[in-house]
């Protein structure tokens, strides 16, 4: 697979702290955010080669804080009207706009304990935790989202309790994401415990533990997860890792497997970054998918922790077999991907 990709993002710092999933502010403000991923692909793989132009992701959102500790957020995304590889969709598989987040949120303090809550279409706490401090998101989604089809948001109630460097996030929702939530009478509970054991001299270590119990579809197919992750950030290097034990994958409740991922970014000199990453899924009954790659990025502009402009040159190699193969049970599939990516983050806030 050879892939030419262009990534453009304008990101507003809609959160008071980098790992807060609720954009709360002590004073009224408006925060805007825009993300756009678009690419041209030449896929060289087992079987027939494919060429295509694609809009990978388009998102726009706004968050409004009011009454000191309350606010609302609306975030829209562009998606294909059919699944990847599908033939049924709106007007020949058009790109349509859907709601990704639509939540109202609030916060309160009880001494040293910080309480937060949100209701509506809320962000998933595990995906939010993984994306925090991850500088390689322009290269790939998190392994949980990409390999397990993890929903990034859900119709749910979301709460957070923080004390010092420890925080517990709990989400209780339909578990169907935005797909047919009425099909499932069961509910899904996701809990993520986060801690920051090291935060000194610009170096920060975050550790996360996951527990999820739920089901999907009218048949209540099990969707249970146990996992752990960690990220380390410093002025010169960052790293992260993720491991998830999945019980039930997709529409197969009996499928069990391990998902794993790791990434590393170094900044040896100003305006230059080197990166490596690997991810995969291995099924207990046989079969696996692995992706390994590296990248170099030139960063001509950077402003604070969030604003930056980067141009990436990346190379990925993937191997799939068993249930992860292009056709389950077929011969292993291999692909090589070359990516040229431009990533921009630029904050915009009105206080």
What is the arithmetic mean of pLDDT over 228-239? 95
Q: Beta partners for 309? A: 301, 344
Among 54-58, 226-230, 234-238, whose mean pLDDT is lowest? 54-58
* Count: domains in the chain: 1
For residue 225, give the nearest of 252, 262, 259, 193 by alpha carbon.
259
The CA distances from residue 40 to 213, 233, 340, in Å, are 38, 32, 10
Q: What is the pLDDT of residues 38-63, one digit of tens each?
A: 666 666 666 666 666 666 677 778 88
Q: Are 127 and 152 in contact (CB under 8 A)?
A: yes
pLDDT-derived band at 182 (thresholds 50, 70, 90) equals: confident
How much is the pTM? 0.86
Cα separation, 229 vs 233, whole angstroms: 14
Mean pLDDT comparison of 40-49, 70-79, 80-89, 193-202, highest-scoring range: 193-202
Residue 212 pLDDT > 60: yes
Average pLDDT over the chain, rounded to whole?
A: 81
Residue 23 has what pLDDT? Answer: 44
Residue 20 has what pLDDT? Answer: 47
Q: Beta partners for 301? A: 309
* CATH number of the domain within which 114 lies: 2.40.160.10
Q: Which domain holds residue 139?
A: 2-350
Handedness of CA 196, 258, 45, 80 (dihedral sign): negative
Q: Beta partners for 36? A: 8, 58
What is the arithmetic mean of pLDDT over 89-111? 83
Does 14 or 291 have the greater pLDDT score? 291
CA torsion 226→232→238→242, rounded to 10°? -10
Q: Are 218 and 184 in contact (CB under 8 A)?
A: yes
Residue 297 has what pLDDT? Answer: 92
Residue 327 pLDDT > 60: no
Cα separation, 61 vs 157, whole angstroms: 20
Residue 92 has what pLDDT? Answer: 65
Please count the residues of the chain: 351
């Amino acid at each position: 697979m050879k892939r030419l990709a262009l990534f453009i993002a304008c990101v507003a710092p809609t959160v008071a702290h980098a790992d807060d999933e609720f954009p709360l502010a002590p004073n009224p403000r408006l925060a805007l955010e825009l993300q756009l991923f678009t690419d041209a692909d030449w896929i060289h793989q087992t079987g027939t080669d494919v060429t295509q132009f694609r809009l990978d992701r388009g998102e726009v959102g706004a968050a409004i804080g009011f009454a000191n500790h309350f606010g609302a957020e609306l975030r829209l995304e562009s998606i294909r009207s059919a699944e990847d590889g599908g033939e049924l969709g709106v007007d020949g598989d058009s790109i349509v706009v859907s709601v990704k987040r639509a939540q109202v949120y609030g916060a309160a303090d009880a001494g040293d304990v910080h309480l937060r809550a949100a209701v509506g279409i809320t962000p998933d706490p595990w995906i939010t935790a993984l994306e925090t401090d991850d500088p390689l998101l322009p290269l790939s989604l998190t392994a949980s989202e990409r390999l397990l089809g993890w929903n990034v948001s859900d119709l749910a109630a979301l709460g957070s309790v923080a004390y010092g460097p420890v925080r517990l996030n709990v989400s209780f929702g339909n578990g169907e994401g935005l797909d047919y939530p009425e099909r499932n009478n069961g509910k899904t509970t996701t809990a993520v415990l986060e801690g920051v054991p090291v935060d000194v001299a610009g170096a920060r270590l975050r550790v996360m533990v996951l527990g999820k119990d739920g089901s999907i579809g009218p048949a209540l197919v099990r969707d249970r997860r146990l996992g752990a992750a960690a990220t380390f950030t410093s002025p010169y290097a960052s790293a992260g890792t993720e491991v998830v034990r999945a019980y039930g994958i997709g529409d197969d409740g009996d499928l069990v497997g391990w998902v794993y991922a790791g990434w590393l970014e170094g900044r040896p000199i100003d305006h230059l970054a080197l990166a490596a990453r690997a991810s995969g899924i291995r099924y207990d009954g046989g079969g696996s998918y692995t992706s390994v790659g590296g990248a170099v990025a030139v960063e001509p502009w950077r402003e604070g922790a969030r604003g930056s402009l980067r141009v990436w040159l990346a190379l990925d190699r993937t191997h799939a077999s068993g249930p992860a193969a292009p056709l389950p049970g077929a011969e292993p599939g291999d692909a090589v991907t070359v990516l040229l990516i431009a990533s921009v983050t630029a904050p915009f806030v009105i206080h």
